[in-house]
Chain A
């Protein structure tokens, strides 16, 4: 009953939003004043640190670019919207950015599910969208206006599989969030690689929003795996690890970049000895990484996580594309984005391929005593 009420309200909201301000998006004059870029992300909600970190990265990049004189002789202004970690709010957010604010390009989201939902809106209005961290392959298949500056799940899933094999784990259990495109994608490609020579002893699942995982964990524990592959987001990872340790399931868990959050590092001993694949490591000696680290620490007084790094790179790639486009026009920016080549970012060398994806190596980090340690780098 309550659900029905919410659905009706949402339906009204979604239906009315575009009606009120039809077709304003394309007709604005983009040739003077600040260049408006939209950014939407999960500033609050179960994946809040994703949005907050990438926002901080974006803002740092834009601040640096504007301090150097901006692009095309104009300053860049970022308009940010919070989607509360909800896919329907992400749709509302980009509709506001496009119709109300008239942005020429959009940066966002971290979570694949929300990038997929909002991406179709951007594609419809022909506004280029650059996702800093959505790894599900489907995201850029939405259309020719959707890009990303990170690797994809097929690669990250394979990285997980290769890593498990390199570690010599004979029996691995999988625990997937079946409501999450990202998690399903990772698990799928993990199975394909690891399943060839390793044993998948349990293939369990949960749904976004579940809080009790003891049923699945008890089943997994009964199969005595050497490790558990957990391609989820950090809020679930925290709950799952705590419950697993309570049940006495003390084997290492490993996952993907969905683990990357300061929250994961505060979990204490339940997360010690766990691994995850990621986009960058602060231990990387490359000058781009160290320069970014220094600037970020000076501004925010903390070490950037991967989402901050990817947000930073996405904003800089975007600014670079606007510069090469020569004008603040969505169509021209799209074409310039598509030609991005050998851009030296903090998270690696970024070249956008024909599928509008970036190919970059992945790092494997181990968590110990509230810190991450680089243990392996896997090339695409």
Chain B
């Protein structure tokens, strides 16, 4: 029983970062019907920039409470600028082209960022351990030490749920959110209504990228930083977004947590020979869910726009 609880904690903790990345996919898809394949690389840049920021802040302060906000907010800033630039340079000029063209541009951006990060001048292909700014340490455990909850488990789950709430509030409760929903509902009509669609789209990219930066920072601290670290989480988060119903905010979070849980439970409970199929199981579940509910768990049926 304790072991199951521990596995659930492990799974939710892994799933939380998938959820954060999935939120970015789902927002961009909701508004542009575009799968931003460069999103996994934004997550990687988030990890890389938090690594450099941590190194820099540790040069002049030893206090965790000074350094951590600088690292998190700093990497969010770096990534929102990157998100803005990606949209502005690689997607906006192709706005009136067929969607496939933009998709290919996205793949190009993704490959570009992966390979840029492998330059030794920028980061290099060697994994680097995060500076000892914040260590993953147990904060809660039961008497027998069979259930352990680390500070990063708490941080990742807390941030994911908190940011989901903030995001829901932004979309549902602010003027920008109203405009965002309008653009998502009818792109051309909202332009006629005087909404600056370009600005709304930029905002969406920046917001989504900032969330990916948070995920990147958490994983950088928890694991390490590598230039190709965005590949798999990016793919899994994309699946999570589709699973939850792409375009839906709670859907992305539920999808992300689901992916983390299924991966962990397969690794933890199936015989060792099947560990390699941890991702396959998640993808099979995706197919099953899409067969039963083509719009995903939380997706709404929308008429195809012509």
Contacts and interface: CB of A to CB of B under 8 A. Distances in A.
Interface residues of B, number: 46
Contacts of A199: none
B3 A85 contact: no
A377 B264 CA distance: 39
Interface stretch (B123-131, B188-196, B208-216): B123-131
A205 B272 contact: yes
B268 A2 contact: no
Contacts of B200: none
Interface centre among B3, B7, B125 (most CB of A within 10 A): B125
Given A238-B129, A248-B138, A44 B224 contact: no
B224 A207 contact: no
B138 A246 contact: yes
A198 B110 CA distance: 49
Contacts of B174: none
A45 interface: yes
B272 A203 contact: yes
Contacts of B273: 205
A207 B129 contact: no
B267 A215 contact: yes
Contacts of B110: 2
Interface in B124-155: 124-127, 129, 136-138, 141, 145-146, 148, 150
Interface string A211-241: 1101110110110000000000001001100
B10 interface: yes
Contacts of B14: 212, 214
Contact of B264 (A48, A215, A238, A248): A215
Interface residues of A, number: 36
Contacts of A221: 3, 146
Given A44-B124, A46-B127, A247-B148, A214 B264 contact: yes
B125 A45 contact: yes
Contacts of B148: 246-248
B37 to A, nearest CB: 6
Contact of B223 (A6, A179, A211): A211
A248 B10 contact: no
Interface string B214-256: 0000010001101001011001000000000000000000000
Contacts, number: 99
Contacts of A48: 125-126
A242 B136 contact: yes
A287 interface: no
B118 A218 contact: no
B124 A2 contact: no
Nearest to B111: A5
A204 interface: yes
Interface string A1-14: 11101100000000
A84 interface: yes
Interface centre among B3, B150, B272 (most CB of A within 10 A): B272
A367 interface: no
B81 interface: no
Interface in A117-149: none
A285 interface: no
Nearest to A223: B3
B138 A178 contact: no
A46 B126 contact: yes
Contacts of B129: 238
B107 interface: yes
Contacts of A235: 127, 224
B126 A218 contact: no
A266 B152 CA distance: 22
A169 interface: no
Interface of A: 1-3, 5-6, 44-46, 48, 84-85, 176, 178-179, 203-207, 209, 211-212, 214-216, 218-219, 221-222, 235, 238-239, 242, 246-248
27 contacts: A1-B103, A2-B107, A3-B231, A44-B125, A44-B126, A46-B126, A48-B125, A85-B125, A178-B276, A179-B276, A205-B273, A205-B275, A207-B275, A207-B276, A211-B224, A211-B229, A214-B10, A215-B263, A216-B267, A216-B275, A218-B268, A219-B268, A222-B3, A238-B129, A239-B224, A247-B6, A248-B141
